[in-house]
Structure 1
Amino acid sequence: MAETLTMEKGELVERAREQMHTHLSIPGWSLREKLALTCRILFARGHDSGLAGQITARAPSSGTYYTQRLGLGFDEITASNLLAVDEDLQVLSGDGMANPANRFHSWIYRARPDVRCIVHSHPQHLSALSMLGRPLKIAHMDSCPLHDDIAFLEEWPGVPVGNNEGEIIAGVLGDKRAALLAHHGLVVACSSVEEACVIAIQCERTARLQLLAESAGGIRDIDAGLAREAHDWVLQEKRTQATFAYYARRALREIGSGGESPLS
């Protein structure tokens, strides 16, 4: 007789969590490799906007982080061409300069010691919502990782190269994992590169679903307790790492032998 058919949901969740820790194998990519992979993954998932957007991760030395070189698109980033910069965006290693808009990343890192990676991009569907002045609506199981975890900045403060914009964006983000910025785009701030990448993908997918649903009618709310349950289930570290690894394998297959590997 099957053992699990009479078990409570909580027991089944804990059983599945233990099995994931045992069976899900995660590649040993370096921090720089994961950051470069994130650039390629998000490029392939609609986060490309020319030279706009920055993806950063804290470097080992305090007050420093890795970022891409201004002049390169997300699809051109490799582990070896990333820059290491300080909070003033002075280059500590690598060639070229950082995007001046990276300044607001310094403000977020200062305000949030828990944050290890920041994604800022202008994906199409999120940008459309930002033009309408509408926050993201979390009303589908796949979107629940964003439940009560995405803020909304209602007024555009302008190009984020000044300190005022950094204070505003860090302030509206608060302790959440993401924020939709009016007339601008997306910012994600997470405890790992893997989590930031997965959350950024889900934010854009949620915006696309919202625009599709709203074109057909009103969106029905979902139960907040069940949304929180799904939020915590999907955002387990091991599951997030496995999801990132899938997107990375997919990106590497799409690059194939014809392009420069992000791992180079």
Structure 2
Amino acid sequence: MSTRATHRDKTYFSDRSAQEMKQFLKGRDLTVQQQLAVTARMLAMDGHEAGLAGQITARAEQPGSYWTLRFGLGFDEATPEDFIRVDDDLHTVEGSGMANPATRFHLWVYDGRPDVNSIVHTHPPFTSALTMLEEPLVIAHMDQTPFYNDCAFLKEWPGLPIADEEGRIITEALQDKHAIILAHHGYLVAGKSVQESCYLAVYLERAARMQLRASATGKIRPVPDALAQEAGAYLRKTSIVNATFDYYSRQTERYFGNYLQ
């Protein structure tokens, strides 16, 4: 009996894995506040924490409001109870505490992008180093392909983003993409879910780290467009994104203890 594998087109394996992931990858049932707490803890573990500078938000069911971590806490301290709901003038309407004033520019993204339901903005070391060089992301590795044709670049720094003008500038630069590198600042990712925003935030910092390390050694060579598009679409499958997020939740619970209760 021959043991030679049957040669099949890549589409067969892509479609089959998609069906099997639906069958076998069962996600955790977490509230939006728990999802936001997982995101905060994961980013803290991944080195994104920069004092009180970063923000994590999620569009609320109530129009004109969103959930955010109350100001004064670091990502590594966040629990579900620490997320408050604020209106479009940053007044707290649910929970206790105040919003980080810098989340005001998130309002502009939510208003201009109805497909976006969660935003992460931080100043992690490797992405921040790219911003200091005024360099956009180069897609030169498989793990960077989730950002193929989906990572904008704002070369001009508009200043501290606590007013409306900065929100307008960043939103216009983001356009229809789900990530943007902000020169002399940091990054922003805008996902269709909290899970996707967390996933993209972790992968973007890793992508920047690889780019900086590779550029210190030699010339970076981008992957072909067609292959980048194919790989990126696969790695952005909702089932993969959500399964990765579930792993992040387990990983952070092992590290921080039972913070989700």
Bin the TM-score by the shorter chain.
over 0.9
Instruction: Provide structure 2 residue ranges, at least 5 long, that are not aligned to the other structure.
Output: none
Output the CA distance in 1 between the equivalents of 2:156 and 2:221.
Answer: 27
Once the two structures are TM-superposed, the CA of residue 225 in structure 1 deviates from its matched residue by 0.3
Percent of residue pairs bearing the same amino acid type: 47
Partners of 2:203 and 2:219 in 1: CA distance: 21
2:135 equivalent in structure 1: 134
Distance of 2:82 and 2:4 partners within structure 1 = 53
What residue is the counterpart of 2:49 in the other structure? Answer: 48
Tell me the CA shift for residue 77 of structure 1. 1.1
Partner Cα distance (1:2, 1:235) in 2:
33
Distance 1:56 1:2 in 2: 52
Note the alpha carbon deviations across 1:7-45, whole angstroms, 9 max, x for none.
Answer: 211111101111111111111111110011100001110
Q: Secondary structure at the match of 1:98?
A: coil
- Listed as ranges, the gaps of 5+ residues in structure 1 are none
Q: Which residue of 1 aligns with 2:96?
A: 95
1:213 alignment partner AA: A
1:216-231 alignment to 2 at 5 Å?
216-231=217-232
Output the CA distance in 1 between the equivalents of 2:189 and 2:177: 9
Question: Could you say if the C-alpha distance between residues 62 and 4 of structure 1 is closer, same or farther in structure 2, counting changes exceeding 3 Å?
Answer: farther
The match for 1:187 is 188
Residues matched between the structures, number: 260
Query: Equivalent residue for 1:114?
Result: 115
Listed as ranges, the matches of 1:63-74 within 5 Å are 63-74=64-75
Corresponding letter in the other structure for 2:225: A
Give the structure 1 partner of residue 35 of structure 2. Answer: 34
SS class of match (1:50): coil
Superposition RMSD in Å: 1.2
How far residue 6 of structure 1 moved from its aligned partner, in angstroms, is: 2.3
Q: TM-score, normalised by structure 2?
A: 0.97
What is the CA-CA distance between 1:140 and the residue it aligns to?
0.2
- CA displacement 1:140-193 (0-9 Å, x = unmatched): 001100111000000100000110000001111111010000000010001011
Q: Tell me, in whole angstroms, the C-alpha distance in 1 between the residues paired with 2:3 and 2:234.
A: 24
Aligned equivalents of 1:95, 1:30: Cα separation in 2: 18
Change (3 A) 1:243 1:3: farther
Q: Which amino acid aligns with 1:134?
A: E
